Amino acid sequence: MNHPDHAVELLNAGRNCSQAVLMAFAGELGLEPDAAARLAAGFGGGMGRMGHTRGAVSGAVLVRGPGVPAP
């Protein structure tokens, strides 16, 4: 399954956007899915549910990390 489809599956299973994005890449990042879910939990709904930076964007930043060049 590709990353976007996996993220959508996780969203449909009740994860927030940030969790879904990070969990979709967890294996490639050396993370257990539960650890990825815990790391991304606070970013759902726009960082603490404040609605500003979207959770999917935060999840993508967690995947990319600092200083990682774009593909």
Report the alpha-carbon angle 43-55-16, nearest 5.
Answer: 80
pLDDT value, residue 34: 95
pLDDT value, residue 9: 97
Residues 6+ apart with CB under 8 A from 5: none
The residue among 70, 67, 63, 71 whose CA lies nearest residue 43 is 63
Q: How many angstroms separate the CA atoms of 28 and 10, rounded?
A: 17
pLDDT value, residue 35: 94
pLDDT value, residue 61: 82
pLDDT value, residue 49: 62
Instruction: For residue 9, count other CB atoms closer than 10 A to its CB.
Output: 14
**Consecutive 10-residue runs of the chain (71 residues): their mean pLDDT?**
94 93 91 92 73 76 70 54
